[in-house]
Chain A
Amino acid sequence: MAPDGLTVATPVVRNQSPPRRRRVRLPSRRGLALWSGVTLLAIIVLASVLAPLTSPYAPNTIALKATLQPPSMLHWFGTDQLGRDVLTRTLYGGRVSLTIAASTVVLAGLGGMFIGIAAAYLGGIFDMAVMRLAEVQYALPAVILAILLVGVFGSGTANVVLVLTLTNWPRFARVIRAEAQSLSQRDFVLLARMAGASRLRIILRHIAPNLRSTFFVLLTLDIGLIVTLEATLSFLGLGVQPPTPSWGGMIADGRGYLDRAWWTAILPGSVLMLTVLASNLIGDALATTAGTERAE
């Protein structure tokens, strides 16, 4: 029989090896999610951007002799009820949807970040007012608010960006505010104050740089959400107006032909879904990285 020390030591050694192996595997799994997300998004973005060069069809050319053709070598995604190439329209729709999503995310992100930092740092009435407004917006479903705002501003690409920005800034503002508040309690902010740093310097040099990873996580996660919201608005006819192709609009058009020509709605819908998936994969991977960074 081994002495006590050894019998204790053996299970400890055995217990140690699986976590060690998992520790090696985790980053690679996270890396896999990140890179598959990046690859997927890159393919969709590149294909959309290059569509005018690569596609043999124009997105709005009607070919009444070739309506509702199933996917083939000629029309990879088939054709719709007006004989337009679904792949071409999907890619052109991607240009519109992704442009809207990117501009919205940047506008809502920067605006929300600015408001969040200001609320955290100024506090008082400004903080109260802004955060109550954010909470009211949270209580309303985003789509309903967006529909209301489209009613006020009218539809069209620029207005869709405006409406989506107005509905999405609170998510950024709230998270950034909470994070900025906890940062401003850190010792290095006190030390900066004790060195005579101005508020502006503290915000620019000590708070904002430490919000960077949170900001990018929110940004990527939000892209998927905004693509969906934009598609919802276009589906309801409140977003991008026909004949300009958009994913939401194509799904709406194809809905009536689901029994005869599933590709008209399902294929643009799949691309939409893959875009959201890619955005979430990237966002989650970045969130995990940011989390470990913070824990360290």
Chain B
Amino acid sequence: MSARIHIEAVSKTYPVRTSLFSRRRELAALRGVSLRIEAGTTLGLVGESGSGKSTLARLVMGAENADAGKISIDGRDVRAGLPRAADAWLRRTLQPVLQDPYGALNPRMTVAETVGEPLHIQRQGSRAEIAARVRELLELVGLSAALATSLPVALSGGQRQRVAIARALSISPRVLILDEPVSALDMSVQAQVINLLQDLQDRLGLTYLLISHDLAVVAHLSTHIAVLYLGQVVEAGDRNAVIRTPRHPYTRSLIAAAEPGGEVEAIQGEMPSPLAPPSGCPFHPRCPQAVSECRSTPPALRRISGTHLAACHLADSAQETAA
């Protein structure tokens, strides 16, 4: 099976100025992230806000460029400002679905215009063909064809997100970047949209990069999970390995926090500022098991078993604690 998405040692820093007169500082949003998403699978990316999830999404969708590292889909470069033909290929291969269903739709465009726009831009078919395809897509995401002429104002949040998904699917992409696709929706609507996404993947063989801070959503939809902390992957592997035998203390506390009725092992404090990352292991200031080594040496991402990776000095002994 060909690996569909390759993310290799990607780093991204943003220059920030905290006040007009202060020195410009570097915010390291991503620090050497490497991930691989196989065709037809879902990689769930978990992390707190500020962990670099959304930056990674913007890089993978080619909205911005990484400072270092390389992203490719089926061996072809992904970045902003590609030559025309390569860019068109990228746009037809990959489409994003974003978090806020209220911001994602142009308030002046009807549902049919929004859904059909990528087809118009990529010149996929005549006007009549596009109209027929739009009807098909609305049906696919479970929206009534009567909504085709509505403006976003007339739609609920769930309906808007379905429109956004229909639009993303219009040019039959093989990859969807799902950046918090359900976190702005009500619980009942969340379940509908999650089921829709799962159903679409089964039917169309899509590859998903799913970004969420909600571990339950990620665990439900993903085949693989990567945990991001302060711009670094701290644990990655297939879903069952990460959920059932988490090796990184950060993953363990995330899972404990997500389990209803489970013993909540609250994470101490807040995530450190990416402007001043701690020395050694980025998680050590909050880690209940930190030893002196953690404060001085950053742990490498090590293979624990099979495809299961974790970046923790204590990953081996941690297994005993978890068991």
Whether B121 and A196, one on each chain, are in contact in the complex, defined by CB atoms closer than 8 angstroms, is yes
Q: Report Cα–Cα, A210/B107, bound state, in Å.
A: 8
Q: Do A196 and B87 contact each other (CB < 8 Å), given the known contacts A187-B100, A205-B109, A206-B106?
A: yes
Decide: A191 and B108 in contact? CB cutoff 8 A. no
**Inter-subunit contact B118/A195 (CB<8 Å):** yes
B162 beta carbon closer than 8 Å to chain A: no
Closest residue of chain B to A208 (Cβ to Cβ) is B108
Question: For residue B98, which residues in chain A have a CB less than 8 angstroms away from its CB?
Answer: 187, 190-191
Residues 84-103 of B, flagged 1 when their CB comes within 8 A of A and 0 if not, give 00011001000110101001
Q: Does B3 contact A (CB under 8 A)?
A: no
- CB-defined contacts of B106 to chain A, threshold 8 Å: 188, 192, 205-206, 209-210
Interface residues of A in 259-295 (CB under 8 A from B): none
A296 within 8 A of B: yes
| A205 contact set on B, CB distance < 8 A | 106, 109, 117
Chain A positions within 8 Å of B68 at CB level: none
> In this assembly, does B104 line the interface, its C-beta being within 8 Å of a C-beta of chain A?
yes
Query: Bound state CA distance, A193 and B118, in angstroms?
Result: 10
Q: Is B61 within 8 A of A188, CB to CB?
A: no
Whether A195 contacts B121 in the complex (CB less than 8 A), given A187-B98, A205-B109, comes out as yes
Contacts of B61 in A (CB 8 A): 194
Q: A187-B100, A205-B109, A210-B106 are in contact. Are A193 and B63 (CB under 8 A)?
A: yes
- Give B100's nearest chain A residue, CB to CB: A187
Closest CB in chain A relative to B274 CB, distance in Å: 21
A211 to chain B, nearest CB (A): 10
The residues of B that contact A199 with a CB separation of less than 8 Å are: none
CB-defined contacts of A201 to chain B, threshold 8 Å: 121
Within 8 A of B (CB), among A202-240: 205-206, 209-210, 212
CA distance A34 to B293 in the complex (A): 72
A186-B103 contact, Cβ under 8 Å, with A191-B167, A195-B95 = yes
B1 to chain A, nearest CB (A): 26
User: What's the least CB distance linking A70 to chain B, in Å?
Assistant: 55
Give a binary string over B286-313; 1 marks a CB under 8 Å from any A CB, 0 the rest.
0000000000000000000000000000
A58 close to chain B: CB less than 8 A: no
Query: In chain B, what residue has the closest Cβ to A197?
Result: B121
B62 within 8 A of A: yes
CB contact under 8 A between A194 and B109, given known A187-B104, A188-B103, A296-B153: no
For A206, list chain B residues within 8 Å (CB).
Answer: 106
Give which listed residue, B91, B103, B105, B153, contacts A194 with CB less than 8 A. Answer: B91
B240 vs chain A, min Cβ distance (A) = 33
Query: Which of A191, A205, A210 has most B Cβ within 10 Å?
Result: A191
Nearest-Cβ distance from residue B228 to partner chain A, whole angstroms = 21
User: A205 vs B117: C-alpha distance in the bound complex, in angstroms?
Assistant: 10
Docked complex: A156-201 residues within 8 A CB-CB of B: 186-188, 190-198, 201
Question: Which residues of chain A have C-beta atoms less than 8 A from B87's C-beta?
Answer: 196
Q: Measured between C-beta atoms, what is the minimum distance from B120 to chain A in Å? A: 9
The residue in chain A whose Cβ has the minimal distance to the Cβ of B88 is A196
Per-position contact with A for B110-136: 1 when CB-CB < 8 Å, else 0?
000010011001100000000000000
Write the chain B residue with the least CB distance to A183. B106
Chain A residues near B62 (CB, 8 Å)?
194
Query: Which of B91, B103, B105 is within 8 Å of A196, CB to CB?
Result: B91
Complex interface residues of chain B between 5 and 53 (CB less than 8 A to chain A) = none
Contact B122 A195 (CB under 8 A): yes
The answer to whether B117 touches A194 (Cβ under 8 A) is no
Enumerate chain B residues within 8 angstroms of A196, measured Cβ to Cβ.
87-88, 91, 118, 121-122
Between A195, A201, A209, the greatest number of chain B beta carbons within 10 A of the residue's beta carbon is seen for A195
Could you say which residues of chain A place their CB within 8 Å of the CB of B167?
191, 195
Min distance, Cβ A275 to any Cβ of chain B, angstroms: 32
Interface string of B161-183 (1 = CB under 8 A from A): 00010010001000000000000
Bound complex: CA of A193 vs CA of B63, how far in Å?
Answer: 8
A195–B153 CB distance below 8 A: no
Q: B77: shortest Cβ distance to chain A, in Å?
A: 16
Q: How far is the CA of A201 from the CA of B91 in the complex (A)?
A: 16
Alpha-carbon distance between A197 and B113 when the two chains are bound, in angstroms: 14
Q: How far is the CA of A251 from the CA of B5 in the complex (A)?
A: 75
Cα–Cα, bound, A209→B152 (Å): 14
Interfacial chain A residues near B105, Cβ < 8 Å:
188
How far is the CB of A147 from the nearest CB of chain B, in Å? 38
Closest beta carbon of chain B to A183's beta carbon, Å: 9
Q: How far is the CA of A296 from the CA of B154 in the complex (A)?
A: 11
Distance A194 CA – B62 CA, assembled complex (angstroms): 8
Known contacts A188-B114, A194-B91, A196-B121; 11 further A-B pairs (Cβ under 8 A): A187-B98, A193-B63, A194-B62, A195-B91, A195-B121, A195-B167, A195-B171, A196-B88, A196-B91, A210-B106, A212-B108
List residues of B whose CB falls within 8 A of some A CB.
61-63, 87-88, 91, 95-96, 98, 100, 103-109, 114, 117-118, 121-122, 153, 164, 167, 171
Q: Nearest 3 pairs between A and B by C-beta?
A: A187-B103, A195-B118, A196-B91
CB-defined A-B contacts under 8 Å, sample of 11:
A191-B104, A192-B106, A192-B117, A192-B121, A194-B63, A194-B95, A195-B91, A195-B118, A195-B171, A209-B106, A210-B106
